[in-house]
Homo-oligomer: A and B are copies of this chain.
Amino acid sequence: MKPWTRYLPSAALLVIAGLAWQWIVTARHIPSFILPGPVDIAQTAWRLRSLLLTNALPTTEIAVLGFLVALAAGVLLAIAIHLSRVVELALYPLIIASQAIPVLALAPIMLLVLGFTIGPKLIIVALICFFPITVNTVDGLRAVDPDLIRMMRSLGAHRLTILREAELPGALPYLFSGAKVAVTFSVIGALYSEYVGSTEGLGYLMTQLQNQFETGALFGAMALLTAIGVALFAAVTLAERLLIPWHRDERAALYTNRKGYR
């Protein structure tokens, strides 16, 4: 497929969904304060574009920084769990437990310890999104063909060499699955982080808009948010393609014999 045709189905579905939405809203006279139509949303968003964009910047920043923190932390934790049975038994349950607590409930404690810095925000984002990375990386490190590892051991490879040369590259596809989930969550994490001591960002803006019943603008902010989410996901997918070259093209022409398809 040519690059631009790739986006046709997605765009077509969007247009169809938009039309249906607009039609329902118009035909059933749904008032815009309950569910604004896409036209309404687009108009409001355009009117408030500078407000939206100004506030999108800090949110994206926090999301990306938080994701990077989560990536580093998630992979390191996974390696530690993988390398040491004791660490696994001691830490893994606590890591799982950390995900069952609503992060916002921890906000006061973080605030008390760290004050009104960027720290608590990054921690909130990282807490929300490191988990898929850790679980996937642990499973990926374990999924590497055991015969490959035997081969390396027989050649006298050090434990860390096996990790670096066999297990980590082998776990990359899993890691990236986790990273794609994580980066999508980082956006919502950034939003939540703004409930804790912020006076800017899309999360703060959304609270304000909701309080003033600016439903159209609220939906505009949400649309912007989803656009950021999709863009970050796409960025990680691109990184995956670049970092796993041996994986690429493996599937080329698998279900068809016409060369160049997919």
Contacts and interface: CB of A to CB of B under 8 A. Distances in A.
Nearest to A139: B177
B255 A159 contact: yes
A73 interface: no
Contact size range, A: 35 or more
A131 interface: yes
B102 A229 contact: no
Given A35-B109, A100-B225, A184-B131, A254 B146 contact: yes
Nearest to A247: B143
B8 A105 contact: no
A139 B176 contact: yes
A28 to B, nearest CB: 11
Given A99-B188, A132-B132, A225-B100, A89 B230 contact: no
A225 B93 CA distance: 13
B188 A102 contact: yes
A217 to B, nearest CB: 13
A178 interface: yes
A-side binding surface: helix, strand, loop or mixed?
Answer: helix
Interface in A26-74: 34-35
A251 interface: yes
A178 B105 CA distance: 25
A10 interface: yes
A160 interface: no
Contact of A89 (B7, B177, B210): B7
Contacts of A230: 93, 96-97, 100
A155 interface: no
A135 B102 contact: no
Interface string A172-216: 011011101100110110011000000000000010001000000
Contacts of A114: none
Contact of A101 (B12, B87, B132, B225): B225
A159 B255 CA distance: 9
A149 to B, nearest CB: 6
B35 A226 contact: no
A229 B99 CA distance: 8
A210 B105 contact: yes
Interface in A219-255: 222, 225-230, 233, 247, 250-251, 254-255
